[in-house]
Amino acid sequence: MIINKITFIITLIFLMLFYLLVGKINLVIESEIFLTMHITLEFASVIVSMLVSIFCWYDYVYHQRQKMLIMAIVFCILGITDFIHTLSYLGMPNFITDNSANKASTYWIIARLVQGMGIFLAVCSRERELRLSTPTTMFALTTLVSVASLIAVAVYLPYLPSMYDPVSKAQTTLKVFSEYIVIGLYSLTIISLLNNQSTDKRDLWLVYALAIGIFGEVAFATYDHVYSSYNLLGHMFKIISFSVILKGLFDEALGQLHKTNEALETANHQLKKTDRLKDEFLANTNHELRSPLTAIIAFTELLLDKHTGSLNEMQTDYINEINDSSNDLLNRVNELRDLSRIKAGKMVLRTEKVILKEVVKNQANRIRPQFDNKNVNLKVNCLNNLLIKGDEERISQILNNLLSNALKFTPSGGEVLINARKDCASEQVEITVEDNGIGINLSEQEAVFQMFYQVDGTSSRSYGGAGIGLSLVKNLVELHGGIIKLESCSGKGSKFTFALPMYNKKGNTEVQYGT
């Protein structure tokens, strides 16, 4: 262990001088004053014990270290035992049986032996891991057994060895011997900690705490009256010792929190940098892809128009395939561009009055040939008077993506329904695209709106697509101030519903979202 020996020696000298000074003015304190001070110190000690237990417990929960589990249990028992010790003093209301100095001393020595053995056992376990399936249950059972044992001590106290002689008004030899056993346990623990060469600052603070605890135990072993100032000094040393342990735990917790925050800030900075590089890459790639694709489409259309000469049937089929594939790829590039613009906050919506039925009808007519080729029935149910406020081009894009998605996952002979209705309560129009295709598992329904996510994501998947369409749909709907939701059941189809604001006659406005 890395420890400042000079600081440690100075601390020991200070404690020794303080101990000797109190010894010079050793006196018996009036019972009323002593009890008040004793109660204050003990209750403060109980609070600190419980705080130490809580810190150690959460350290165990997150790091699974056996040492911290033992410390959590030990200090919980200490808090309970010291509380009962306080209630057992003369002048306090009787705890189960009549209070006495012997009863209070018995609980005291039980607490100190538990503390000495428990901390020694915890230190000996070092950094070993202990993974329990139900650690909370174990902690609770251990605490309950301890409480039951402490109650049994009160009941069977007359049959236990005495710790205080009411005749001589002094501690018994067994009690004094027990205090020296505790001192021995503290000393062994300090030696073990110093030999561990640990770099854990909590172990350093534990060494200081145990050294202070030794002076406290010496005071308890040498006081000659139950209301002696040495007795009170021992209590002061004990609470200081506990507070030093708590400080070590608190400093370590704050230090870990600070390190975690720094690591998160570094990771966040790196993610932002990566995201910026990704956006730059997408923008550059988008431009580099669009230019040749546009040229391919233009030249294939020229060939199909037969300006360069007639084509035979096979050549026409090949050119059509090239043209269709190029248009499909261009659409995906455009979608990727739109997503990157939305993420960058650069997507501009031209909001205006949109007659929904016209938009739905146009999109249905445009895509219907694809439905007919696959033998999928497309139905439209839209009222004439539905007016919405939005960007007509983007709303068409939303519908196109949802219809393409429905067509992709609906088998031959299936059906897709577009339905639109007014929701007067929310002043929105709800548009639904429903199919009776393969459906989506509940576990995947949140993920389908993520970029590049595929419901059938295996390398041999049966359905095409790049996983961009639904992510773009969600972002475009939210840019309009709407929401989209999915209802689906595997094997029974899917129902996508998105809501857009109704037109409110405030005129056309160009709105830019983001910077």
Q: What local confidence, expressed as pLDDT, does residue 258 receive?
A: 83
pLDDT band at 513 (very low <50, low <70, confident <90, very high): very low
Closest to 147 (Cα-Cα) out of 95, 208, 205, 187: 95
Burial of 327 (0-12, 13-18, 19+ CB in 10 A): middle
Q: Is 464 helix (H, G, I), strand (E, B) or coil?
A: coil
List pLDDT tens digits, range 270-303. 888 887 777 777 667 776 777 788 888 888 888 8
List pLDDT tens digits, range 144-192. 998 899 999 999 989 999 888 887 777 888 988 888 898 899 889 888 8
Q: What local confidence, expressed as pLDDT, does residue 152 receive?
A: 92
Q: Which of 47-61, 227-241, 293-307, 447-461 has the highest mean pLDDT?
A: 47-61
d(CA 447, CA 99): 66
pLDDT tops 60 at residue 2: no
All residues at 6 or more sequence positions from 223 whose CB lies less than 8 Å from its CB, including other chains: 171, 230, 231, 234
List pLDDT tens digits, range 328-361. 888 778 887 887 777 777 788 888 888 999 999 9
pLDDT tops 60 at residue 461: no
Instruction: Report the range of poorest mean pLDDT among 98-102, 126-130, 416-420.
Output: 126-130
Q: What is the pTM of this model?
A: 0.55
List pLDDT tens digits, range 376-434. 999 998 877 888 888 999 999 999 989 988 898 899 999 999 998 888 777 889 999 99
d(CA 32, CA 43): 17
Give yes or no for a contact between 367 and 376, defined as CB atoms under 8 angstroms apart: no
Helix-helix angle 173-196:201-222, to 10 degrees: 160
CATH classification for the domain delimited by 5-265, as one of 3.30.1340, 1.10.10, 1.10.12, 1.20.1070:
1.20.1070
Domain residues of the chain, as ranges? Answer: 5-265, 274-341, 347-512
Instruction: Report the range of poorest mean pLDDT among 20-34, 57-71, 333-347.
Output: 20-34
Q: What local confidence, expressed as pLDDT, does residue 17 receive?
A: 64
CATH of domain 347-512: 3.30.565.10
Q: What local confidence, expressed as pLDDT, does residue 515 receive?
A: 36
d(CA 221, CA 486): 74
